[in-house]
C-alpha cells in the first residue's frame, strides 16, 4: 500500500542515536541521515552514548547500529524511555531488525502511523555490599554473575522473595528478561521466551549437577544471588558491561523496573519471523552431495 509523503509539519519527531566513537559506524549512520530526515523531524543527533540523554521533545528514538546500540540506548534513556526504531547496521540484530535496504518501505509506513509498539520488560539490578553500600543499574537483557579467574567453580545461592530456592555449583548464573533470552541465556542452554512475557529466566552456566535446569518465573518477584566465596575475578555484569567484582557478603538483587522499553514494529516484522531468519529455523538439512568432494 503506497503512502503519500507527509508534510514537514506532519513528520514524527525523532532523536537519532548511534555510537560515533566507531568510525565505520559513524560513516554509515551519517549516510543514512538524509533518508531519515525525509520521514522524521530530527530534533537531535546523539552520537555519544555515555553523555546525558537529550531527547529534545522527540517522539521516537532511531538507533543506528546493532543490538548493543539498542541496549546502551535503553540504559541511556533511563526513565525517559521513547519508542525505539532499530535500524540494523550490525550483524545478528534480534532487536535492531529493520534493515537499511528496507527503509524506503518502512519509514513512510511509520510516518503514517502504520506501526505497532511492543512493550518489553526492563529490570533494576542492585549490588548491595556487605558494608551497606549499593550500586544500581538499569538493564534490558540480563544480569550475569561470572566465575572469572582463577576459573574454579562457584557456589551461587538463588533467593526469590527472600526464600532460598537453590544452591548452584556452576561457572556462573544468568537472570534474563524475555528480550535477553536469545542472548547469553540461549548460549547457556536456556529457553527462548516470547518477548512480551512478564517473566525472568534463571539459567546456570555449566552446572555441576545435571538436575539444575533453567527456571522461568514471574517478573513480580525479587531475585537475589549470593556467592559466599567468590573467586578473585568473580564479577557482576549487566547487559554485557562489568558493574563490579563480587566480594564475600555481596548480594545481587534483581527486580522489575518501572521503566518499560518499547520497540517499534512495522509490517513484515514479527517475533517468530525474526527467530526463523536469525536462528535458521525451518531450513532443510543440506544434502551431502551439495557439498562437493572433500
Q: What is the mean pLDDT of residues 64-76?
A: 95
pLDDT score, position 274: 72
What are 43's three cell numbers? 530534533
Question: Is 255 a residue whose pLDDT tops 60?
Answer: yes
Q: Which entry of 47, 48, 50, 67 is annotated as an active-site residue?
A: 67
> Does the annotation place 126 within a ligand binding site?
no
Residues 214/191, Cβ–Cβ less than 8 Å: yes
Q: What is the mean pLDDT of residues 182-203?
A: 94
The pTM is what?
0.88
> Does the annotation place 38 within a ligand binding site?
no
Please say if 67 is a catalytic residue.
yes
For residue 195, what is the DSSP state?
A: T
**Cα 280 to chain centroid, rounded:** 20
Question: Is 4 a residue whose pLDDT tops 90?
Answer: no
pLDDT tens column, 86-140: 999 987 678 888 889 888 888 898 888 888 999 999 999 999 998 889 999 999 9
What are 65's three cell numbers? 547500529
The helix (run of H) or strand (run of E) holding residue 123 is strand 115-128
Q: Exposed, middle or buried: residue 202 (CB in 10 Å: 0-12, 13-18, 19+)?
A: buried
pLDDT score, position 7: 53
> Which residues, 6 or more positions from 158, have their beta carbon under 8 angstroms from its beta carbon?
164, 165, 166, 167, 168, 173, 202, 223, 224, 225
Question: Is 45 a residue whose pLDDT tops 60?
Answer: yes
> Which residues, 6 or more positions from 6, have their beta carbon under 8 angstroms from its beta carbon?
39, 111, 112
> Does the annotation place 30 within a ligand binding site?
no
**CA nearest to 14, candidates 33, 32, 40, 52:** 40
Q: What is the mean pLDDT of residues 257-270?
A: 87
> Which residues, 6 or more positions from 50, have their beta carbon under 8 angstroms from its beta carbon?
none
Q: At residue 269, what are phi and psi to the nearest 5 degrees?
A: -110, 135
Give all domains of the chain, ordered by start, each with its CATH number: 13-115+266-279 (3.40.50.10330), 122-258 (2.60.200.30)
Residues 158/224, Cβ–Cβ less than 8 Å: yes
pLDDT score, position 269: 66
Q: What is the mean pLDDT of residues 30-43?
A: 94
> Does the annotation place 142 within a ligand binding site?
yes
Amino acid at each position: 500500500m503506497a503512502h503519500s509523503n507527509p508534510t514537514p509539519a506532519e513528520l514524527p519527531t525523532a532523536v537519532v542515536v548511534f555510537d560515533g566513537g566507531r568510525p565505520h559506524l559513524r560513516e554509515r549512520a551519517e549516510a543514512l541521515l538524509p533518508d531519515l530526515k525525509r520521514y522524521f523531524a530530527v530534533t537531535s543527533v546523539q552520537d555519544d552514548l555515555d553523555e546525558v540523554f537529550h531527547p529534545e521533545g522527540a517522539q521516537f528514538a532511531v538507533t543506528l547500529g546493532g543490538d548493543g546500540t539498542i541496549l546502551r540506548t535503553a540504559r541511556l534513556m533511563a526513565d525517559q524511555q521513547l519508542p525505539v526504531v532499530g535500524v540494523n547496521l550490525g550483524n545478528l540484530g534480534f532487536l535492531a531488525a529493520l534493515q537499511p535496504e528496507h527503509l524506503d518501505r518502512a519509514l513512510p509506513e511509520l510516518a503514517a502511523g502504520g506501526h505497532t509498539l511492543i512493550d518489553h520488560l526492563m529490570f533494576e539490578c542492585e549490588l548491595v555490599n556487605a558494608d551497606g553500600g549499593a550500586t544500581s543499574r538499569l538493564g534490558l537483557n540480563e544480569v550475569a554473575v561470572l566465575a572469572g579467574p582463577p576459573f574454579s567453580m562457584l557456589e551461587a545461592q538463588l533467593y526469590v522473595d527472600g526464600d532460598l530456592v537453590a544452591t548452584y555449583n556452576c561457572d556462573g548464573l544468568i537472570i534474563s528478561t524475555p528480550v535477553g533470552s536469545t542472548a547469553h541465556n540461549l548460549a547457556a542452554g536456556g529457553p527462548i521466551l516470547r518477548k512480551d512475557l512478564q517473566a525472568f529466566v534463571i539459567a546456570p552456566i555449566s552446572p555441576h549437577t545435571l538436575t539444575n535446569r533453567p527456571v522461568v518465573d514471574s517478573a513480580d518477584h525479587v531475585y537475589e544471588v549470593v556467592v559466599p566465596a567468590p573467586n578473585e575475578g568473580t564479577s557482576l555484569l549487566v547487559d554485557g558491561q562489568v558493574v563490579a567484582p563480587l566480594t564475600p557478603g555481596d548480594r545481587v538483587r534483581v527486580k522489575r523496573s518501572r521503566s518499560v522499553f518499547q520497540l517499534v514494529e512495522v509490517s513484515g516484522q514479527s517475533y517468530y519471523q525474526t527467530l526463523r531468519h536469525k536462528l535458521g529455523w525451518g531450513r532443510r538439512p543440506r544434502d551431502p552431495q551439495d557439498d562437493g568432494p572433500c
